[in-house]
Structure 1
Amino acid sequence: MKLKRLIQEKSVDALLITNLLNIRYFTGFTGTTGIALVIGENKFFITDFRYVSQAMEEVEKKGFQLICENISPLKKVAELLKQFNVKKLGIENQMVTLEQFKSFENNFSKIEYINLNDIFTKEREVKSEEEISIIKKSIKIAEEALEKTIYRIKIGIKEREVAAELEYQMRKLGASKASFDIIVASNERSALPHGVASEKVIEEGFLTIDFGCFYNGYASDITRTFYVGDNPTKKHLEIYEVVKEANERAIKKVRAGITVHELDSISRDFIKEKGYGDYFGHGLGHGIGLQIHEYPGVSFKAENKVLKEGMVITIEPGIYIPGFGGVRIEDDILVKEDSCEVLTSLKKEFKTLKL
């Protein structure tokens, strides 16, 4: 039904889907080689012999007719377009390389191309009950893995060792892989918003861990900041509490109908009021799903974007002070009609790792 509606909305005869994430979303195919073509009521999935058995199990229950083509999938697409007299073809222009476009021109010379832009990725913004259930499991795996990892952290261990242990635990619990390069940033490196784990040895100070995993194709994304050692200063405590309050204030306002700009401002204005506005430079959050960063972006950059029921977003304010350290606290949130559901369950109170 979604694809039929999109054909009507874009006033095209057919849709060509080449991005593997969008292919997974609409067809259920989890392999790495395939093309989906939708012409009116007809839905075709083209792959080679390596994936025939897998595709039969995955795409046919979604109503796609499986076609095996080992030599030139685009020529098979061209044959189908000619067979159904397609004049206007919607393509994912943002995902097409120059080489692919030249191949399109060679194979579909009489076709008018209609740019779909990000129509498919926007279609993925609102999650189904099944998707939400999978994301919850992904979050649960990530959280349990951190609980198993945190007690192994000690002064003198390297950041990369922590990241490796955390990914190992996530995989052991059922994740396919980490959803991004795990961030383990200690002491002054915690002031780096994307301080991917390094060879640095952990020492006394803030320790930010930003992590998540893919489970059944869907991502989780969580951040917690700890203090390693026995002597946090007043400034450490103050910065942490400001970020925690900014996180909680925004979460309380999440609901369908609020703009992402307004939601971002709730955290940003509070941090600015406390004197740290210059140290919070990124957006408040983003959508998660088949990608770790997907629509909607929750940011001051988007004026009119409105949250919808069923979206899953992150809320992740932070303060980053060069030479001192930084704090980020990130939760995964399900948007509901009049409120939200906090999907993450890890505690957010200031925690010292006295090691």
Structure 2
Amino acid sequence: MKDFSFPGRIAGLRARFDLEAAKFQGIDALIVSHPENVRYLTGFSGSSGLVVLTKTDALFFTDGRYAVQAEREVPGFERVVLPAGSILLVAAGDWLREQGETENVSCIGFEADHIPYSAYRTLEQTLDPDDRAQQAVFARSGDVEALRAIKDASEVAKIRAACQLADACFAHLCEFIQPGMTEARVAWEMESYFRTHGAQKLSFDPIVGSGANSALIHGRASDRVIGSSGGPEFVLMDFGCVLDGYCSDITRTVVIGGEPTAKMRHLYDSVLGAQLAALAAIKPGVEGKSVDALAREMLKDAGYGEMPHGLGHGLGRVVHDLPLPTFSPKATVVLAAGMVATVEPGIYIEGLGGVRIEDDVLVTESGCERLTLATKELIVLGN
């Protein structure tokens, strides 16, 4: 047996060649081109790679820039290193055409969500240059993504480590932030902390909103001076890092500039209550939309109207990973053990500010496990 780094993933993908014949045309081979899907199957971290998987063969195509890297990162695959300037998809098509002449490789799938029409036409012409229809290409969707939705033990360990680093960053920020700093300065401190503690990069551009800016759901850090309102104000921070190829995503809301008002405490406690209820409802077999509905109704009952976004999304190799969406009014996902997602209710009031509390969670056999463990008590900074 070939020494694949991820043999279960390869076997799982092959099992899908005929699994959804009612939805898709059954296939003899699949071309995987999306970079995140390629890395998931192979471990390859470069920018030029493509996988061709048949029922018996597994090939990895790259160019000469990555010859040594591919040898290190892609065991078990037959590696095809092409000259600079080569088109990987054409080379893959040439190989598949040759296989079609000697093997039963006539139906070839491609990732329809990730290959543009021009590339599809190139592949079609490469496989059948004489228009004799010996081989045909068929659109496939979600084959690798279905596997990615369920994290294996190695993936969970990496996400857990990224979450631990996010927790540590929040603890550092609570010591660092002072009235008079700008939101942008805090955002830079986040990035500096992550970079100097092992992260490859941030999961996304961090959100730091203070005072009225905390009501901007996806607001970016500005030059606003934190604490400049002259009274207590919210500081909402949404951030995360990429560690060993996997993401974390956490949001915490604190108060700075004095003790929070009764209205601020009610807002915070309402959001926290909705989040805790949602966490308690998560377990295998539950529909994602029902968890979203629970949190949404609690916030309405508290007097805050409609939550303006979904309750959460999948998390993994990318910050919005499969299953997507996980928790929203339109989510169709049924939760299963091994899924990792965010749970992030929020309420945003123009003029006053906003509160969002977000954790990353792993769906377990009996419920869920929080992976982000930073405190959710309402912290008052700068006193």
TM-score between the two structures when normalised by the length of structure 2? 0.89
**How far apart are 1:80 and its partner, in Å?**
1.4
* 2:163 pairs with one of 125, 139, 149: 139
Q: Percent of aligned positions with the same letter in both sequences? A: 36
2:15 maps to which residue?
Answer: 5
Letter of the 1:36 counterpart: V
1:319-338 superposed matches below 5 A = 319-338=347-366
CA deviation string 1:85-121 (max 9, x = no partner): 1321111111112332332233233442222122222
Residue number in structure 1 paired with 2:45? 30
1:44-66: CA deviations, max 9, x gaps?
Answer: 00101111111111111xx2110
How far apart are residue 236 of structure 1 and its match? 0.4
RMSD over aligned CA atoms reads 1.4
Kindly provide the CA deviation profile for residues 19-49 of structure 1, in whole angstroms up to 9, marking residues without a partner as x: 0100011111111101100121100001011
SS of alignment partner, residue 100 of structure 1: helix
Query: What does the per-residue CA deviation read over 1:120-157, in whole Å, with 9 as the maximum and x for residues that have no partner?
Result: 22220110000000000001111112222222211221
Matched, 1:193 2:217: yes
Superposed displacement of residue 303, structure 1: 5.3
Give 5+ residue unaligned stretches, structure 2: 1-10, 21-25
Are residue 294 (structure 1) and residue 321 (structure 2) matched?
yes
Q: Deviations over 1:152-192 (max 9, x none)?
A: 21122111110111111111111100000000011111111
2:126 equivalent to 1:107:
yes
* 1:324 to partner: Cα distance: 1.4
In the comparison of the two structures, how many residue pairs are matched?
A: 352
SS at match of 1:252: helix
Q: Which runs of 5+ in 1 are unaligned?
A: none
Alpha-carbon deviation of 1:275?
Answer: 0.9
Matches within 5 A, 1:33-72: 33-60=48-75, 63-70=76-83, 71-72=86-87
Q: CA deviation at 1:316?
A: 0.4
- Structure 2 residue aligned with 1:15: 30
- Report if the CA contact (8 A) 1:4-1:41 is conserved: no
Instruction: Please tell me whether the aligned partners of residues 16 and 91 of structure 1 are also in contact (alpha carbons under 8 angstroms).
Output: yes
Q: Secondary structure at the match of 1:295?
A: coil
Question: Is the 2:234–2:256 contact (alpha carbons within 8 Å) kept by the matching residues of 1?
Answer: yes
- Given candidates 210, 213, 228, the residue that maps to 2:238 is 210
> Partner residue of 1:281?
308
**Residue among 145, 150, 155 paired with 2:174:** 150
Cα distance in 1, alignment partners of residues 37 and 361 from structure 2: 23
Which position in structure 1 is the counterpart of 2:267? 239
Shift of 1:221: 0.4
Q: Which amino acid aligns with 1:170?
A: F
- Greater mean deviation of Cα atoms: 97-106 or 13-22: 97-106
1:67 partner amino acid: V
Moved more, 18-27 or 66-75: 66-75
The amino acid of 1:196's aligned partner reads R
CA distance in 2, matches of 1:173, 1:330: 22
